[in-house]
Amino acid sequence: MIKSLTSLRGIFILFIFFHHCMNIYPGGGSMAVTFFFVLGGFAMTLGYKDKITNDEFNYRQYLTRRCIKFFPLHWLCILAVMPLALLSFTWLDVPKLALNAALLQTWVPIQKWYFSFNWVSWYLANTMFFAVVFPFVFRSIAGASSKGKGLIAAVMAIIYVVVTVSIPEEKYHAILYISPYMRLMDFVFGIFLALGYLKLKERQSFKWNSVVNQVVVFSLIAILFFESYLLSKTARLIAPVYWIPVALLILIASLSDRIWGGKICYKTNIYYALAN
């Protein structure tokens, strides 16, 4: 992980903390989740680009490592909440428990299902899905021509608009905010962003002014903060409203890689690992 992005992760973890634990920042969770999904596609592209394009890439080994990373901690969290869950547990909850344990709960667009047991694991369920499809999605995008990439992006945009205008507002949370097939677009946006970043990095022929860079980064964080606060009761569930400032934030931080040297916010990553 680029050091400056590690620091940004810490800041956005705090946004989630104030949203969930303090309940004083209603838009923080939605905005920060979008940031992390986009960052996920960005980081995985940088980390696996060369490996996936290599003919010796072993999908089974790759998926095994992702499962080892996600499932043990997830099952431990389920065990931790089971004493409380057992107070109202019935046989009808067995399918919910099975889906949750398999990280498939977000495929059911019903809140009692995708927020069952360890409810914050919905984020981990989507992240696991992104990991499963990432090699195939990346190869499709990276192997496409410029027109092909444009077509993929256009199809994504059309699908998002059609789904948004087709579903009732009460389904926004289940479909636009939770469902893995819609949040996959955040992740894919991160892949496009990473490919653009790699091209910019190759062409970069000037040095970033660290002071100006930090001012721009903090300005973008402020924009995201106020945007999410103003939209907390309206469009906060629609991720694309955050894409542009999130993309600029990740790009500028990555191209400079000087913000705070990545020396802060490491401890908050513990909260991120446990809560998500």
Q: What is the pLDDT of residues 49-75, one digit of tens each?
A: 888 887 778 999 999 999 999 999 999
Q: How much is the pLDDT for 23?
A: 63
% of the chain at pLDDT higher than 90: 40
Q: Which segment of 71-85, 116-130, 143-157, 207-221 scores lowest on mean pLDDT?
A: 207-221
pLDDT > 80? residue 238: no
Q: How much is the pLDDT for 193?
A: 95
Identify which has the larger pLDDT, 27 or 41.
41
The amino acid occupying position 86 is: L
Q: Are 16 and 32 in contact (CB under 8 A)?
A: yes
**What is the average pLDDT score of the chain?**
83
pLDDT > 50? residue 264: no
Per the structure block, which two tokens stand in for 99? 């889906």
The amino acid occupying position 54 is: N
User: In terms of C-beta distances under 8 Å and separation of at least 24 residues, what long-range contacts does 70-77 make, across chains too?
Assistant: 70/103, 70/124, 70/127, 70/128, 70/131, 71/103, 73/273, 73/274, 74/101, 74/103, 74/118, 74/121, 74/124, 75/101, 77/118, 77/121, 77/274
Report d(CA 175, CA 109) in Å as an integer. Answer: 7
Identify which has the larger pLDDT, 72 or 236.
72
pLDDT > 60? residue 179: yes
Q: How much is the pLDDT for 120?
A: 85
pLDDT > 80? residue 20: no
Q: How much is the pLDDT for 208?
A: 60
What is the pTM (predicted TM-score) of this model?
0.86
Report d(CA 96, CA 62) in Å as an integer. Answer: 28
The domain segmentation of the chain, as residue ranges, is: 3-61+131-275
Identify which has the larger pLDDT, 166 or 28.
166
